[in-house]
């Protein structure tokens, strides 16, 4: 058990918890979160009142409709094939290309919709930790729509992660073995007894549960044989185990021998202590800071093992611990692009972001939901920031704070074409008017530059800034102030506050 | 004249460690730019100096279907569906030929400007994408290094260089750029590579911030002066392009400064050069085009890094692999034509690399699994063309993979020493690896 935080519970600590366990909030949201007290605030995160189905899914991703769509596609393929019989080889090939193109277009459009759906949910949810854990699992069991191709499976996997947000790591690993998107992503689909494919066997040990150095090449080769015979039944949208394609002979894994199947390998892995340590470290680094001390890690791994790999209790222990509120943890984490965007929108009290903004911004900043770069997920921390992405963050903040009308053309973020996803609108956010500055900085507040800056500092940074920075902002506001700061001048002040290295920290 | 280093010391880390004011730095560009120009005539960062392009083939390129050992029965036996027949290749010798998707590289080979190093790898190879990429990028086979081989070159052989000594056209900084002092810069689109301050009263804003943030004035010595962010941020791993042990805030401030310093220069240069050479629309070709524009503009850059992804061909590999090689070939064709037009073709050498090759035998999905050694390309007028190293045996295997005959650090060492003229390789590669006759 980690040492618990003491009785004092400041508003800055409340903001820190809401930033890390969720996606931050407006000053009003932080205040009501603070009013709960530490224990109740943590409870509210772990037992949200918002039901799992609070946000209706796009129709194409829901059970029967999705199955019907899949059947229709196969039907289409079959009838196409029939229609092609009379055609010349060239004409048949062209018809086939056309049919494939149509399906690809549909997939890319759905990918964009699914992407928007999840981003919107993150922005609007009253269960922020559940969404944050969904993102954590998405990164951990990384699967990309670019390879999976069928958005419906990505959405189903997303629902699995949401249901498992505070559940058992072990159960989720079992579920992932039978997850259609993962089966497609790691080629378990085509792994057969005569020629096992090592992809899933390797990643399940290296990236999902044990970490490099905690298994041998021999373990992987043997496990790959156990993971044979799993396949996706496209008609049912389910993964099954085909015993005929499974290698039923003995395998020796971690020194134990038996005719193991895939699920047995996962049980063998979780019979070890290492997954507890591996996951405790990863969760700590995701929510708190990198490289935790060995004693802290021992304590966390011990608790996790005792809780039989249940993540809820582990998260509770982290968020109630003294170390979570220590100096080393406060405002020391570099925001991921998704974190940056949702926090910023919440702070600017924008509930409907400009059309096309979320996906374009994610592309430019290097984190597109449903598209982690590879099976290891995203590189977090300093990897988000380079000269290019930092400048892009500054410019996106300028666009959001100032609106499309106030900006020169070059400021309109350009879309990037991403294979596997339909492009957003060509020029996104046309007519975007910027946030409501009457709400963010009411006129009376603008009478006094010091009060205005202090209020904005809390809104954007949620902690006292070093004096020099604060004074600079105040002086800037003073020189800008004619009779009273206009919306435009307020927007400029906000943009400058956001165009700082300091704002990149959460 | 202030150098970038002076600037860094006096303002960012020293005086205002908590934040930098973009407009202020914008104003000082002229000055910094001059400084950078001075440095640019130093021998190691001169405008007329040699340039290395590193081109990553991400995902593990199947070397055996790139440089095809068509005369080897074992090859055809191991790959009943994937093997290229003799008529499907561009013959380079009695034993090997190039995948026919690469006609340009074939002609380059005949002109003597393409070198192919066969059987490149390292001892005790790792089959994980991430570990093996890391090993190639850090040139450390124990995978413990926090700095990259190119970052160590910048640190050790280019003292005082501008951050644009290395430019990567990537969303993320390659691990090979990881450095203690100068990790280069990373950009994606030069048009957006600047801080855009729009709206009214621009001059007033600039003036205000310039006055407020003049370096070395009494105002800078506030009593609350923090110590380079150490009290707020904790030491981070710094595995990715960062400086080891640097806190997150200090890291952010350094990147912010580098962005400013490099932004204006790059923007100007990228707009200047126009070429009549046509490039494909692929991300690779687009990035090679950007590299050509930077070179034409006279950047002091010694190393450019670009990436071409999708080589993890576990499944139905024939079409996808040929397509990827075709994109590579077409991109390089435009790139070298562009360089020739500029008259810069003799200054540039390009090296490809991939984290590993692939298994000799095809798998059940008509693809190939992660392997070990592979081949790599060296292109450019400065290269000694032909086949280097010996083609590994397809029957004497290690866990189904070919064994390496050349250590990749020998290739790095040769390029660093003979092409980039790094005076001392030991601090960069950790040891002196036998050089190969690749240049000349």
- Tell me the chain A residues in contact with residue B196 when contact means C-beta distances shorter than 8 Å: 394-395, 398, 407-408, 410-411
pLDDT tens, position by position, A122-147: 999 999 999 999 999 999 999 999 88
Confidence tier at A419 by pLDDT (50, 70, 90)? low
Tell me the mean pLDDT in the region B113-141.
93
Identify the three-state secondary structure at position B308: strand
* Tokens standing for residue A213: 């150095």
Confidence tier at A262 by pLDDT (50, 70, 90)? very high
Name which residue leads in pLDDT, A324 or A392: A324
Beta carbons of A194 and B364 less than 8 Å apart: yes
* Tokens standing for residue B354: 């991939």
In the block, residue with structure tokens 């009376």? A444
Q: Which residue of A has its CA nearest to B281?
A: A417
For the cut 50, the answer to whether the pLDDT of residue B365 exceeds it is yes
- Among A66-70, A175-179, B387-391, the least confident range: A66-70
For the cut 90, the answer to whether the pLDDT of residue B223 exceeds it is no
**Distance between CA atoms of residues B381 and B111, nearest Å:** 9
**What is the separation of C-alpha A466 from the centre of its chain, rounded to a whole number of angstroms?**
31
Highest mean pLDDT among A63-67, A475-479, B191-195, B346-350: B346-350
Mutate to test the interface with A, among B369, B371, B400 (most CBs of A within 10 A): B369
**Distance between CA atoms of residues A451 and B426, nearest Å:** 58
**Distance between CA atoms of residues B197 and A318, nearest Å:** 41
According to DSSP, the residues that pair with B168 across neighbouring strands are B186, B305
Give the residue from B187, B192, B156, B151 showing the smallest Cα distance to B171. Answer: B187
Name the helix (H) or strand (E) containing B304: strand B303-309
For the cut 70, the answer to whether the pLDDT of residue A404 exceeds it is no
* pLDDT score at B353: 98
Read off the DSSP letter of residue A506: -
* pLDDT score at B237: 29
Beta carbons of A197 and B201 less than 8 Å apart: no
Share of chain B above pLDDT 70, in %: 75
pLDDT tens, position by position, B95-110: 999 999 999 999 999 9
Mutate to test the interface with B, among A290, A386, A453 (most CBs of B within 10 A): A386
Beta carbons of B234 and A491 less than 8 Å apart: no
The total number of structural domains that make up chain A: 2
pTM above 0.90, yes or no: no
Beta carbons of B235 and A379 less than 8 Å apart: no
Cβ neighbours of residue A74 under 8 Å, at least 6 residues apart?
A234, A235
For the cut 60, the answer to whether the pLDDT of residue B13 exceeds it is no
* pLDDT score at B267: 73
Contact predicate B161/B155, CB 8 Å:
no
Cβ neighbours of residue B131 under 8 Å, at least 6 residues apart?
A212, B143
| DSSP per-residue string spanning A39-71 | HHHHHHHHS-SS-TTSSPPPGGGSHHHHHHHHH
* pLDDT score at B193: 64
- Nearest CB to A195 within list B208, B232, B364: B364
Beta carbons of B231 and A327 less than 8 Å apart: yes
Confidence tier at B213 by pLDDT (50, 70, 90)? very low
Q: What angle do CA B365, B368, B371 make, to 5 degrees?
A: 150
Mutate to test the interface with B, among A366, A382, A489 (most CBs of B within 10 A): A382
* Tokens standing for residue B402: 């070919």
pLDDT tens, position by position, A312-352: 999 999 999 999 999 999 999 999 999 999 999 999 999 99
CA distance A180 to chain B (A): 17
Beta carbons of B192 and A479 less than 8 Å apart: no
Residue A135 lies in a domain: no
The number of beta carbons lying within 10 Å of the beta carbon of residue A434 is 22
Q: Which residue of A has its CA nearest to B262?
A: A387
CA distance B55 to chain A (A): 18
Contact predicate A292/A285, CB 8 Å:
yes
Confidence tier at B206 by pLDDT (50, 70, 90)? very low
* pLDDT score at A432: 84
Give the number of A-B residue pairs with CB atoms closer than 8 Å. Answer: 206
Burial level of B76, CB count in 10 A (0-12/13-18/19+)?
Answer: middle
Tell me the mean pLDDT in the region B304-324.
93
* pLDDT score at A417: 58
For the cut 80, the answer to whether the pLDDT of residue A83 exceeds it is no
The domain of A22 spans: 11-46
Give the residue from A266, A249, A235, A80 showing the smallest Cα distance to A169. Answer: A266
For the cut 90, the answer to whether the pLDDT of residue B250 exceeds it is no
Task: Give the right CATH number for B4-220+237-429 from 3.40.720, 1.10.8, 3.40.50, 1.10.10.
Answer: 3.40.720
Q: Which residue of A has its CA nearest to B222?
A: A468
- Nearest CB to A379 within list B172, B259, B365: B172
Name which residue leads in pLDDT, A293 or A187: A293
The helix, strand and coil proportions of chain B, stated in percent and rounded to the nearest 5, come to 40, 15, 45
Q: What angle do CA A34, A322, B223 make, to 5 degrees?
A: 80
- Among A402-416, B109-123, B289-303, B417-431, the least confident range: A402-416
**Strand residue runs (E) in B157-247:** 166-168, 185-186
Cβ neighbours of residue B418 under 8 Å, at least 6 residues apart?
B435, B438, B439, B440
Confidence tier at A235 by pLDDT (50, 70, 90)? confident
Beta carbons of B255 and A197 less than 8 Å apart: no
Cβ neighbours of residue B65 under 8 Å, at least 6 residues apart?
B82, B84, B99, B317, B321
Cβ neighbours of residue B320 under 8 Å, at least 6 residues apart?
B310, B313
Mutate to test the interface with A, among B12, B17, B18, B317 (most CBs of A within 10 A): B18
Highest mean pLDDT among A159-173, B39-53, B158-172: A159-173
Residue B433 CA: distances (Å) to CA of A147, B152, B178, B247: 40, 16, 21, 34
Average pLDDT value for chain A? 90
Name which residue leads in pLDDT, A80 or B193: A80
Strands A230-233, B348-353: pairing kind = unpaired
Tell me the mean pLDDT in the region A215-234.
95
Q: Which residue of A has its CA nearest to B229?
A: A332
Q: Which residue of A has its CA nearest to B234?
A: A328
Burial level of A327, CB count in 10 A (0-12/13-18/19+)?
Answer: exposed
CA distance A250 to chain B (A): 20
- Nearest CB to B172 within list A199, A327, A366: A366
Name which residue leads in pLDDT, B275 or A132: A132
Task: Give the phi and the psi of residue B122 in degrees, each rounded to 5.
Answer: -155, 160
For the cut 90, the answer to whether the pLDDT of residue A77 exceeds it is no
**Strand residue runs (E) in A254-380:** 256-258
* pLDDT score at B147: 87
Beta carbons of A394 and B22 less than 8 Å apart: yes
For the cut 80, the answer to whether the pLDDT of residue A56 exceeds it is yes
For the cut 60, the answer to whether the pLDDT of residue A381 exceeds it is yes
For the cut 60, the answer to whether the pLDDT of residue B29 exceeds it is no
Greatest alpha-carbon span in chain B? 79
- Tell me the chain A residues in contact with residue B367 when contact means C-beta distances shorter than 8 Å: 187
Cβ neighbours of residue B405 under 8 Å, at least 6 residues apart?
B118, B119, B120, B373, B389, B390, B391, B392
The number of beta carbons lying within 10 Å of the beta carbon of residue B255 is 27
pLDDT tens, position by position, B394-416: 999 999 999 999 999 999 999 99
Task: Give the phi and the psi of residue A10 in degrees, each rounded to 5.
Answer: -90, 165
The number of beta carbons lying within 10 Å of the beta carbon of residue A321 is 21
Share of chain A above pLDDT 70, in %: 95
Highest mean pLDDT among A55-69, A238-252, B118-132: A238-252
- Tell me the chain A residues in contact with residue B18 when contact means C-beta distances shorter than 8 Å: 465-466, 468-469, 502
Residue A500 lies in a domain: yes
Give the residue from A456, A467, A462, A454 showing the smallest Cα distance to A496. Answer: A456
- Tell me the chain B residues in contact with residue A398 when contact means C-beta distances shorter than 8 Å: 196-198
CA distance A445 to chain B (A): 22
According to the 3-state scheme, what is the secondary structure of A348-364?
A: CCCCCCCCCHHHHHHHH
CA distance A379 to chain B (A): 8
* Tokens standing for residue B269: 């240069």
Average pLDDT value for chain B? 79
Residue A387 lies in a domain: no
Tell me the mean pLDDT in the region A286-297.
95
Tell me the mean pLDDT in the region A199-215.
95
Read off the DSSP letter of residue A167: S
């Amino acid at each position: 058990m980690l040492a618990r935080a003491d009785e004092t519970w400041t508003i800055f600590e409340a903001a820190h918890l809401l930033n890390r366990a969720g996606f931050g909030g407006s000053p009003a949201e932080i205040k009501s979160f603070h009013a709960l007290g530490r224990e109740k605030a943590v409870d509210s995160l772990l037992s949200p009142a918002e039901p799992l189905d609070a946000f209706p899914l796009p129709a194409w991703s829901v059970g029967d409709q999705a199955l019907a769509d899949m059947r229709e596609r196969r039907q289409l393929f079959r009838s196409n094939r029939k229609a092609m019989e009379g055609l010349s080889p060239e004409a048949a090939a062209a018809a086939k290309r056309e049919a494939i193109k149509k399906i690809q277009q549909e997939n890319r459009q759905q990918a964009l919709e699914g992407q928007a759906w999840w981003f919107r949910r993150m922005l609007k949810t009253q269960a922020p930790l559940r969404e944050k854990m969904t993102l954590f699992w998405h990164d951990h069991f990384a699967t990309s729509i670019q390879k999976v191709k069928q958005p419906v499976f990505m959405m189903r996997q997303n629902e699995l992660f949401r249901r498992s947000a505070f559940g058992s790591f072990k159960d989720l690993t079992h579920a992932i073995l039978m997850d259609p998107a993962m089966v497609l992503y790691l080629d378990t689909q085509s792994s057969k007894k005569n020629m096992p494919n090592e992809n899933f066997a390797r990643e399940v040990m290296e990236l999902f549960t044990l970490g490099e150095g905690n298994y041998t090449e021999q373990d992987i080769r043997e496990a790959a044989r156990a993971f044979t015979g799993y396949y996706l039944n496209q008609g049912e949208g389910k993964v099954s185990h085909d015993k005929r394609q499974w290698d039923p002979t003995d395998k020796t894994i971690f020194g134990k021998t038996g005719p193991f199947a895939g699920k047995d390998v996962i049980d063998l892995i979780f019979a070890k202590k290492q997954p507890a340590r591996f996951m405790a470290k990863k969760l700590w680094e995701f929510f708190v800071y990198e490289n935790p001390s060995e004693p802290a890690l021992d304590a966390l791994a011990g608790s996790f093992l005792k809780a039989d790999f249940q993540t809820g209790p582990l998260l509770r222990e982290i968020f109630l611990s003294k170390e979570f509120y220590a100096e080393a943890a406060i405002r020391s984490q570099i925001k991921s692009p998704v974190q940056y965007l949702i926090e910023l929108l919440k702070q600017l009290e924008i509930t409907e972001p400009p059309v096309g903004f979320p996906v374009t911004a994610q592309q430019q900043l290097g984190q597109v939901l449903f598209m982690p770069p590879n099976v290891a997920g995203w590189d977090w921390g300093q990897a988000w920031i380079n000269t290019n992405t930092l400048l892009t963050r500054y410019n996106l903040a300028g666009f959001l704070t100032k609106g499309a009308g106030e900006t020169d053309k070059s400021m309109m973020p350009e879309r990037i074409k991403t294979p596997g996803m339909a492009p957003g609108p060509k020029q996104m956010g046309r007519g975007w008017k910027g946030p409501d500055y009457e709400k963010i900085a009411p006129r009376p507040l603008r009478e006094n530059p010091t009060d205005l800056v202090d209020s904005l500092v809390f809104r954007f940074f949620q902690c006292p800034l070093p004096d020099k920075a604060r004074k600079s902002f105040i002086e800037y506001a003073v020189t800008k102030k004619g009779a009273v700061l206009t919306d435009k001048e307020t927007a400029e002040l906000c943009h400058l506050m956001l165009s700082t290295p300091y704002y990149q920290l959460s | 004249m202030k150098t970038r280093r002076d600037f860094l010391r006096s303002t960012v880390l020293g005086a205002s460690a908590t934040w930098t004011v973009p407009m202020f730095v914008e104003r000082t560009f002229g000055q910094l730019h001059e400084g950078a120009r001075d440095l640019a005539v130093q021998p190691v960062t001169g405008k007329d100096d040699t340039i290395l392009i590193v081109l990553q083939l991400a995902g593990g390129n199947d070397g055996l279907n790139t440089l095809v050992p068509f005369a080897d029965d074992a090859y055809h036996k191991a790959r009943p569906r994937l093997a290229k027949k003799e008529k499907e290749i561009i013959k380079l010798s009695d034993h090997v030929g190039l995948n026919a998707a690469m006609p340009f590289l074939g002609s380059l080979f005949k002109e003597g400007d393409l070198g192919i190093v066969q059987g490149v790898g390292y001892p005790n190879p790792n089959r994980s994408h991430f570990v093996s990429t890391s090993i190639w990028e850090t040139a450390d086979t124990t995978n413990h290094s926090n700095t990259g081989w190119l970052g160590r070159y910048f640190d050790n052989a280019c003292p005082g260089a501008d951050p644009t000594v290395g430019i990567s056209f990537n969303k993320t900084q390659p691990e090979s750029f990881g450095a203690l002092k100068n990790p280069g810069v990373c950009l994606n689109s030069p048009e957006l590579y600047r801080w855009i301050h729009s709206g009214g009263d621009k001059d007033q804003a600039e003036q205000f911030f310039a006055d407020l943030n003049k370096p070395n004035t009494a105002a800078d010595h506030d009593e609350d002066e923090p110590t380079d962010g150490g009290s707020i941020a904790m030491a981070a791993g710094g595995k990715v392009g960062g400086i080891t042990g640097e806190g997150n805030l200090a890291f952010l401030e350094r990147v912010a400064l580098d962005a400013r310093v490099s932004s204006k220069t790059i923007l100007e240069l990228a707009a200047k050069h126009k070429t009549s050479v046509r490039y494909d629309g692929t991300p690779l070709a687009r990035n090679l085009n950007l590299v050509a524009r930077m070179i034409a503009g006279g950047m002091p850059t010694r190393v450019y890094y670009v990436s071409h992804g999708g080589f993890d061909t576990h499944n139905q590999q024939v079409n996808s692999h040929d397509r990827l090689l075709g994109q590579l070939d077409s991109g390089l064709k435009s790139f070298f034509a562009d360089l020739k037009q500029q008259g810069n073709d003799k200054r540039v050498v390009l090296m490809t690399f991939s984290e590993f090759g692939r298994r000799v035998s095809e798998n059940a999905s008509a693809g190939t699994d992660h392997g070990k050694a592979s081949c790599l390309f060296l292109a450019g007028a400065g290269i000694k063309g032909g086949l280097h190293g010996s083609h590994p045996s397809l029957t004497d295997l290690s866990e189904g993979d070919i064994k390496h005959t050349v250590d990749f650090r020998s290739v790095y060492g040769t390029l660093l020493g003979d092409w980039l003229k790094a005076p001392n390789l030991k601090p960069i590669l950790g040891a002196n690896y036998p050089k190969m006759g690749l240049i000349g």
